Amino acid sequence: MKVVLSRKGFDSTNGGIMSPIFEDGTMVSFPIPSKDVEKDNIRYDELFCDGICMKTIMNALGYRGVEHCHLDPDLVKDRRRELIHEWTPAFGQINQAATYLKNQHISEGDLFLFFGNFRHIKQNHGKYKYVRKTDKTEDTYLGMPLQVVWGYLQVGGIITDPDEQKKLFWHPHACDKRIYEEKNNVIFTASKQLSFAPEMPGAGTFLYDKKRVLTMPGKPKATWKYCKAYATDNIESNRKNSVKGSNEGIYYAGIWQELVLKENQISEEWAKSLF
């Protein structure tokens, strides 16, 4: 089983705010904004988090961007206002990012772990606010911007045929413009259940837990705790650790979406430990 770390959701360029960690531990990754309505016709006010309109939460936290979004990966069945009976969890990729995954021979049974930028929030008098960092807590993560693993998808199918892709009409990578105008459009669908934990569905989201936080305590969010699983000698990429000094964590600079970990016991055991 190959393990793929995949960065998804709001960042400083796309959206500009942190996705929320609610007081009960629920994490909701805000899908990135999109100005191309022909490719992405879903609006934030059509999406819901436990019955609460996503746009309401976003606006309270300071979002002032466009109305439409790229809902991908699509992992939660009741995220939309109206349920889609044919819905299945899926994740799409195109162009260079899809080529990277193809070259790494991602196949059925491999596991995507989705991570993104998060911060704890609280509700006060009906309004949502980010938790502020104070000296009164022993939790070094509370109130800080973090990168956290928030969701997963074990590959059950890989769809490249345009006619088959169109059957997933609700997914943004099933639109004609991505199918016919982009390179290497591919849709990964989820397995029915996890191969290593058959009591769990093949795709879903996690609750917040410190074991799922990548960020090193006391460091900027993109500087990760050292871990053998995603250290430079265990990833299938020509990337260098940009952190200077020993025991200072791991930072992979630049704009990238996926890191494929080497297929070995180290990667697999770490991935399983997050569940």
Instruction: Report the pLDDT value the prediction gives residue 137, as an integer from 0 to 100.
Output: 67
Cβ neighbors of 195 (< 8 A, separation 6 or more) are 1, 109, 154
Question: pTM for this structure?
Answer: 0.96
List Cα–Cα distances, 96 to 5, 89, 149, 242, in angstroms: 16, 23, 23, 23
C-alpha 164/C-alpha 242 separation (Å) is 42
Question: What is the distance of C-alpha 239 from the center of its chain?
Answer: 21
Question: What is the distance of C-alpha 52 from the center of its chain?
Answer: 20
Local confidence band at 56 (pLDDT 50, 70, 90 cut-offs): very high
As a whole number of angstroms, the longest Cα–Cα distance in the chain is 57
- Mean local confidence (pLDDT), 43-58: 96
3-state secondary structure of 153: strand
- pLDDT tens-digit readout, 73-130: 999 999 998 889 999 999 999 999 999 999 999 999 999 999 999 999 999 888 999 9
- pLDDT tens-digit readout, 161-203: 999 999 999 999 999 999 999 999 999 999 999 999 999 999 9
For the chain, give the percent of residues with pLDDT over 90: 91
Mean pLDDT score of the chain: 95
Helix (H) or strand (E) holding 272: helix 265-273
Instruction: Report the pLDDT value the prediction gives residue 135, as an integer from 0 to 100.
Output: 58
Lowest mean pLDDT segment, chosen from 5-9, 10-14, 67-71, 155-159: 10-14
- pLDDT tens-digit readout, 129-167: 999 987 566 788 999 999 999 999 999 999 999 999 999
CB burial of 66-83 (b: ≥16 within 10 Å; e: otherwise) equals eebbbbbbbbbeebbeee
Cβ neighbors of 238 (< 8 A, separation 6 or more) are none
